[in-house]
Amino acid sequence: MNILIIDDSSDFRALARSYLVKELDDVEITEYEVERLGKPAGDFGWSEYDVLLLDYNLGGNEDGFDWLKEFSPKPGFPPTIILTAEGDEYIAVKAIKLGAADYINKVDVTPKRLAELVVDATGYRTKRKAVEKEIINHAQQVVYEIHKKHAGKSQKLNFKEGYKIVRLIGQGAMSHVYLAERSEDQLSLVLKILDIQKVSNPITLLRFTREAELIAGINSPFVVKIYDHGQTGDYGFIAMEFFSRGDLKQRMELNLTPEIAINYMTHIAYGLDAIHKVGIIHRDLKPANLMFRGDDSLALADFGISKKLETDSDLTTMGQILGTPHYMSPEQGEGRQVDPRSDLYSAGIMLYELLTGEKPFTANTPAALIYQHVHGDVPRLPHVLSPLQKIIDRLLAKDPEERYQTATELIKVLEDAEQNFH
């Protein structure tokens, strides 16, 4: 079996090679050095490989999805497994829609799991139709059962009549994520289903249902839409908006102008204003959780670790840290209590990155990165962007009392700044 690994990390390529050699017999592995070779030429020999492992984010301006879209129609293009460091269903949906055989978050990669994916992918084309039919039939039966038990409580989610399960796009030990379509208008949506019988920790169920409860009542164009959610004796479910134009992480690779950067941040601030006003802290604000709709509008998504401010008991153990270190506030990094101003700090990190194309703090380990957030100097913008430095200074203040105190306050400052750049 010939396997091609395309990833911009030499360390990960080496790790994947060692895993596959350990688990599979008679395997030949080619590592494609993106950082040196760049984009493959038009006559690249794709047909020489049985399976392709393709990274979603290839560094610089290179995007694995763009490569998949461009090269997959070519004769002999191998079944593809998308690799990503971002573990959310939106990336999974896009991978599957572009024809990938499978998808895996790099943090979930183990020797056995990677080998299983590769083996499954080799028979992907011949088994795809039969497997998809079986998956769809099973999913349709599950959602029909949910609808029957939920009848009278919600008229929005009529899976039997109004929704079509397209295919499975992700799964865990207790949950499945499907791409579905609303029959009346072919609207694509993401459907999460949790098998309650497999949930051993009640906190998992609370997190799942809270993700929907926190945002279902918000009516804002800057926040993901929840079409319906609920729970029966056997299943919990969330039907939510699908975003067709990717995330802010991808946009950041396009060398955005200051005007566009401020515009995006203003939309983010409007989203934060909407959730903060109903008592929600996002707590994992990052570019991969900010999604673009077909009309290019921007919305906050992925509230899986958000919390209600007035909730008496946190869903995390004492001192446990949730979030992404690159965008984490000092107080969150130290495991202290957070409030909406923590989200504003994360927004400041993103604003700096939107303006400069670089993260303000970097380190080799999460602990070292958190140390930078807590103790590092507030970064300086290039001279041409110096009029915006005071916004960065306020957003990235170590002490929450020295930051903007509300998203409403930030919106006004950003709108004034946007006018000054026109």
Residues 86, 134, single domain; the answer is no
Mean pLDDT of 23-46: 88
Residues 204, 89, single domain; the answer is no
Residues 220, 130, single domain; the answer is yes
Residue at token pair 């050095």: 33
The set of residues, in sequence order, having a beta carbon less than 8 Å from that of 405 and lying 6+ positions away, is 341
pTM of the model: 0.65
pLDDT at 271: 95
Q: How far is CA 375 from the centre of its chain?
A: 28
pLDDT at 146: 64
* CATH number of the CATH domain containing 296: 1.10.510.10
Residues 407, 346, single domain; the answer is yes
The residue from 101, 122, 143 where one domain ends is: 122
Mean pLDDT of 140-157: 57
Residues 283, 304, single domain; the answer is yes
Tens digit of pLDDT for each residue in 234-276? 777 788 888 877 788 878 877 889 999 999 999 999 999 999 9
pLDDT confidence of 406, banded at 50, 70, 90?
very high
Tens digit of pLDDT for each residue in 167-192? 776 666 677 778 888 777 777 888 88
Q: By the 8 A CB rule, do 350 and 326 touch?
A: no
Q: How far is CA 59 from CA 254, 357, 370, in A?
A: 12, 12, 23
Residues 277, 417, single domain; the answer is yes
Residues 175, 216, single domain; the answer is yes
Residues 152, 212, single domain; the answer is yes
Specify the amino acid at residue 242.
F
Mean pLDDT of 93-104: 80
Residues 89, 227, single domain; the answer is no
Q: By the 8 A CB rule, do 118 and 88 touch?
A: no
Residues 183, 79, single domain; the answer is no
Over the range 314-329, which residues count as b (16 or more CB within 10 Å of their CB) and which as e?
ebeeeeeebbbbbbbb
The set of residues, in sequence order, having a beta carbon less than 8 Å from that of 53 and lying 6+ positions away, is 3, 4, 5, 6, 7, 16, 80, 81, 83, 118
Residues 24, 101, single domain; the answer is yes
pLDDT at 158: 42
Q: State the CB neighbour count (10 A cutoff) for residue 202.
A: 9
The residue from 106, 122, 138 where one domain ends is: 122
* CATH number of the CATH domain containing 10: 3.40.50.2300
What 8-state DSSP symbol labels residue 223?
A: B
Q: By the 8 A CB rule, do 329 and 395 touch?
A: no
pLDDT confidence of 89, banded at 50, 70, 90?
low
User: Which of 42-51, 314-323, 383-392 is least confident?
Assistant: 314-323
Residues 356, 254, single domain; the answer is yes
Q: Is 284 a catalytic residue?
A: yes
pLDDT at 130: 57
How high is the mean pLDDT of the chain?
82
Q: Which domain holds residue 321?
A: 248-421
Question: Coil, strand or helix: which one is 260?
Answer: helix
The residue from 204, 225, 241 where one domain ends is: 241
Tens digit of pLDDT for each residue in 275-329? 999 888 998 899 888 998 888 899 998 776 555 555 544 444 444 455 578 899 9
Domain count, the chain: 3
The answer to whether residue 96 scores a pLDDT higher than 60 is yes
Percentage of the chain modeled with pLDDT above 90: 31
- Which residue is catalytic, options 7, 284, 302, 343? 284
